[in-house]
Chain A
Amino acid sequence: MDIIKASELTYEYIRRNEEGDVDSINQAIKGIDFDIAKGDFVAILGHNGSGKSTLAKAINAILAPTSGSLWVKGYDTKDLDKLWDIRQAAGMVFQNPDNQIIATVVEEDVGFGPENIGIPTKEIWERVEESLRAVGMLEYRKHSPNKLSGGQKQRVAIAGIMAMKPECIVLDEPTAMLDPNGRKDVIHTITELNKRENVTILLITHYMDEVIGADKVIVMDQGQIVMEGTPREVFSKVEELKKYRLDVPQVTELAYELKKSGIPIPDGILTVDELVDELSRL
């Protein structure tokens, strides 16, 4: 079953001047179609301005499509009556860890979402504990978010979404402001959630090494989907990725360069181990 489905989805930012007349129209998403199966880990790549963040906000019904349709768990995101059902089904984690934590104590922040959707007190506490355990932050439950590292804050934010029991989590560049260790922790956490809790993950990022474990990669450029496939399929096309001003992991690029120089290595090497195996077979 598809948890998210888009059909000819278009979103335009319309800028108006002081008289309210249209000043300019910027098409952030240009009639795209895609679907995401329940339980999948999907990564969306693209440089800034490619439309990937707009897409994230559309899924969370923060932005309504200008034309075309987007369904989340079968609900049309244009249907205002289903707004809160959509947001509960597809939780969202944002880029800046500081600007999405509301409370001054970790556990109270995790309880914020369940409070909003009217969960009874006793169950809120159960959910808070469960979610904090799932992201490995249970021992910090009484801490102030200000004392946590960036990676820990993002994990608290993820727990805050988990506590709403979503079917899908959309993460909009969750690691852009983190150091390498924080990035690793966050990616590890969402990978685990995907595997153990079967939560559908939609990871928006521009770090190529984070998408290697994904089931599917979607590359966006100028509001359109330009590449789609498994990480191996997508990373086989180094030249094409470079055309969209994207990187490939260093080892993938090295393998590609070696192949260009005549060494017989298959396309789409993703890890150090794969490359070493291939080379030692020569």
Chain B
Amino acid sequence: MSIILDKVNYKYSESTVYEKHALKDINLKINDGEFIGLIGHTGSGKSTLIQHLNGLMKATSGAIYYNGEDIYAKDFNMRTLRSKVGLVFQYPEHQLFETSVIKDVSFGPRNLGLPDLEIDLRAYEALKQVGIGEDLIDASPFELSGGQKRRVAIAGVLAMKPEVLILDEPTAGLDPKGRDEILDRIALLHKEQKITVILVSHSMEDVAKYVDRILVMNKGELIFDNTPKNVFAHYKELENIGLAAPQVTYVMNRLRDQGIRVSTSPTTIKEAKEEILRWAKGEIL
């Protein structure tokens, strides 16, 4: 499984005064089983990029290959692509419409034309994966709490059994509890089901905690594509484009500036703690 983007460009309202170059020559390969973080400030082209990955938007030029197949070829089945590359939009709970949770989650698999038994199985499994208990499956989705609604909406995409799961700011507007519940579930899915995950997020702390590769978009260009450590090492450049690094990266860099010889690479609390302890033991003991 892989997605390859070859010189993908996208222009809004091409050849009018409103023309906007939203994606500029994007070259990218997404491999099987990766956990990728996509960051960039509002309007950087992140949303446009992810909508290309499942064919909701069509590149103005360039090619996209899914498992080696050109998705813009005439005989390519776009619906299959949409089920293989699941896209969870921002505030996905706004798309809920059915009278019960289980019916809503079944909407995707039903559109795939699967037999009833399979639809049910998938819906139950997806709800289990997001941690929605059996007591809620017949409830109206509109009566759930904010965090529950969002998990049901994510289950609606999971029920299509995607190989790649793209989430556009899945924790926006949730409290810390709701946020952790969702991100932990996603991490678990990645680990156990080997689903490729692309997480669009504004929280550098979350990105650093979960992903192993970061893509940074700015003004329609892909400016960084590397591991969290290597990307956050460029924290000054990130600041220039309205982003930042996790707080601990700043701590490590400031310590280094003070002449304390610690590594500046930690991006999570755990790593930072280990590094500082290592230094402290060496110095104090």
The answer to whether A and B assemble together is: yes
Looking at the complex, which of A5-13, A191-199, A248-256 is the stretch in contact with chain B?
Answer: A248-256
- B177 touches A (CB below 8 Å): yes
Q: 1/0 contact trace for A36-70 toward B, CB 8 Å?
A: 00000000000111000000000000000000000
State whether A180 and B244 are in contact (beta carbons under 8 Å apart), knowing that A149-B42, A250-B205 are contacts in the complex.
yes
Chain A residues, CB < 8 A from B173: 95, 176-177
- Further pairs besides A180-B41, A182-B42: 19, Cβ < 8 Å: A47-B175, A47-B177, A48-B145, A48-B146, A48-B147, A48-B174, A150-B42, A176-B172, A180-B242, A245-B176, A245-B177, A246-B176, A247-B176, A250-B246, A251-B251, A254-B251, A258-B277, A263-B280, A279-B276
Chain B residues near A247 (CB-CB < 8 A):
176
Chain B nearest CB, measured from A50 CB (Å): 9
| Chain B residues with CB under 8 A of A282 | 280, 283-284
Which A residues fall within an 8 A CB radius of B? 47-49, 95, 149-150, 176-177, 179-182, 206, 245-247, 249-251, 253-254, 257-258, 261, 263, 272-273, 275-276, 279-280, 282
Inter-chain CA distance A150–B177, complex, in Å, is 24
Contact, CB under 8 Å: A257 / B177: no
For B269, the chain A residues whose CB sits under 8 A away are: 250, 253-254, 257
Chain B facing A: main interface SS: helix
CA distance A257 to B276 in the complex (A): 11
A164 to B109 Cα, complex, angstroms: 53
Q: Name which of B13-21, B113-121, B254-262 contacts chain A.
A: B254-262
Q: Are A280 and B248 in contact, CB atoms less than 8 angstroms apart?
A: no
Q: A181-B41, A261-B277 are in contact. Are A251 and B177 (CB under 8 A)?
A: no
Let me know if A180 and B260 touch, CB within 8 A.
Answer: no
Checking A246, A251, A263, A275 against B277 with a beta-carbon cut-off of 8 angstroms, the contacting residue is A263
A48's nearest neighbour on chain B, judged by CB, is: B175
In the complex, chain B residues whose CB is within 8 Å of the CB of A273: 254
Question: Given the interface contacts A251-B247, A254-B272, does A206 sit within 8 Å of B176 by beta carbon?
Answer: yes
Name B's A-contacting residues (CB within 8 A).
41-42, 145-147, 172-178, 202-203, 205, 242-244, 246-248, 250-251, 254-255, 258-260, 269, 272-273, 276-277, 280, 283-284
Chain A residues with Cβ below 8 Å from B244 are: 180
Q: By CB atoms of chain A within 10 A, which of B145, B172, B177, B243 has the most?
A: B177
A104 CB to closest chain B CB (Å) equals: 20
A179 with B145, Cβ < 8 A, contacts A247-B176, A254-B269 known: no
Nearest neighbor of B203 in chain A, beta-carbon distance: A180
Asked whether A261 lies within 8 Å of B273 as measured between CB atoms, the reply is yes
**Nearest Cβ in chain B — how far from A180, in angstroms?**
5
A95 partner residues in chain B, CB cutoff 8 A:
173
Do A47 and B176 contact each other (CB < 8 Å), given the known contacts A179-B42, A179-B202, A275-B251?
Answer: yes
Residues of B within 8 A of A263 (CB): 276-277, 280
**A–B complex contacts, Cβ < 8 Å, 8 sampled:** A47-B178, A179-B42, A180-B242, A181-B41, A246-B176, A251-B247, A251-B248, A258-B277
Cross-chain contact of B254 among A149, A150, A254, A272 (Cβ < 8 A): A272
Q: How far, in angstroms, from A278 to B243 measured CA to CA in the complex?
A: 27
Q: Cα distance A279–B253 when bound, in Å?
A: 13
For the complex, give the distance between the alpha carbons of A41 and B269 in Å: 30
Q: Is the CB of B258 within 8 A of A276?
A: yes
In the bound complex, CA of A258 to CA of B175 (Å): 26
